[in-house]
Amino acid sequence: MKVSEIYGKKQNKDCPSKKSLSFEIFPPKKDSELKNIDETLAVLCELEPDYISVTFGAGGSANCNRTIELAKRIKREYHVEPVVHLTCLHYNKAEIDEFANILTDAGLQNVLALRGDKNPNIAEKEDFRHASDLIAYMKAKWDFCFLGACYPECHPESDGRISDVKYLKTKVSAGAEVLLSQLFFDNKLFFRFQEDCRIADINTPIIPGIMPVINASQIRRMITMCGATFPVRFQKIIHKYEDNKEALFDAGMSYALSQIIDLLVNDIDGIHLYTMNNPLVARRICEGIRNII
């Protein structure tokens, strides 16, 4: 099933309050970790997400193969809809064609089309400069549902909110039907971004990405990588509990749950959970919103 159909159904008047719940996972780097991913998938799928997205490591066929293998298993063995992430900066049209053929043969229908991060160690190719180029190219040749990434606090390379939203509109016009957001810790910034999008006539579902924090180094790494604002209220929590693993887990889950509940009461279209392949995190969050989402 295409993810766009899931949102079509959710907007049905018969079930007006139902929001989507989706998870992000990453493929294991080593074969020895495959057993762990099985245990993770079993728990995640038991929680009945609407879809699970699988990340993609740019620059190498081994990375692509693991993403596709995992996506195929999610669909065949667990009967949950997978979304395959695909980056384009380091690939040419022939390589993307090959990838699209593999996805089609495997019955995989959903692609989160991404530019990918610039990496000085991997040569960029000329065919695609932006995610919108990838979507426009693939849409003309294949029948996928395309999702796109969006950034409530702007993409780190962007000139600011106006140009970021302008290029997001280009991505949607090229064919992105659902937008998944970068993680953020301050809901006000997400609501402002959503409003900017609606003013710019971007009317696709915009799904907030939430990352429950379970250790202090994880949050510091995330903030450095994506430039997310670290609200004072949250800084105090991390500072107070960073040396107590169990307390930080509880506090991190509570913070994420309070963010999610605030989003849900403000009429967002769904929640995308960055699980970090941790089934305990996903389970705890789902238990916290079982009667709410």
Residue 234 interacts with ligand FAD (CB under 6 A): yes or no: no
Q: In terms of CB distance, is 150 or 251 closer to ligand FAD?
A: 150
Q: Residues 119, 124, 130, 131: is their CA dihedral positive or negative?
A: negative
Exposure string of 101-115, with b = 16+ CB inside 10 Å and e = fewer, is eebeebebbbbbbbb
81, 114 contact by CB (below 8 A): no
**For residues 118-157, which are near ligand FAD according to CB under 6 A?**
130-132, 149, 155, 157
Residues pairing with 85 in the sheet: 112
Would you call 24 a catalytic residue per the annotation?
yes
- Which residue from 239, 241, 249 is spatially nearest to 285, judged by alpha carbons? 249
Catalytic residue (choose from 5, 24, 46, 81): 24
Least spacing, CB of residue 138 vs ligand FAD, in Å: 13
Measure the CA dihedral 268/228/279/52, to 10°. Answer: 50
Which residue, 139 or 155, has its beta carbon nearer to ligand FAD?
155
Query: Could you say whether residue 171 binds ligand FAD (CB under 6 A)?
Result: yes
Q: Given candidates 68, 136, 138, 180, which one binds ligand FAD under the rule CB under 6 A?
A: 180
**Shortest distance (Å) from residue 246 CB to ligand FAD:** 29
Q: How far is the CB of 231 from ligand FAD (least distance, A)?
A: 20
Q: In this complex, which beta carbon is closest to ligand FAD, that of residue 82 or of residue 251?
A: 82
Among 167, 191, 230, 241, binds ligand FAD (CB under 6 A): 167
Q: CB 14 → ligand FAD: shortest distance, Å? A: 29
One of 40, 182, 194, 275 touching ligand FAD (CB under 6 A): 182
Yes or no: say if 193 and 164 are a contact pair by the CB < 8 Å rule.
no
Site for ligand FAD in 39-58 (CB under 6 A): 55-56, 58
Residue 158 contacts ligand FAD per CB under 6 A: yes
Encoded tokens for 265: 């009461």
Interface positions, 83-122, toward ligand FAD (CB under 6 A): 85, 87, 114-117
Active site residues: 24
Contact footprint for ligand FAD (CB under 6 A): 55-56, 58, 85, 87, 114-117, 130-132, 149, 155, 157-158, 163-164, 167, 170-171, 180, 182, 209
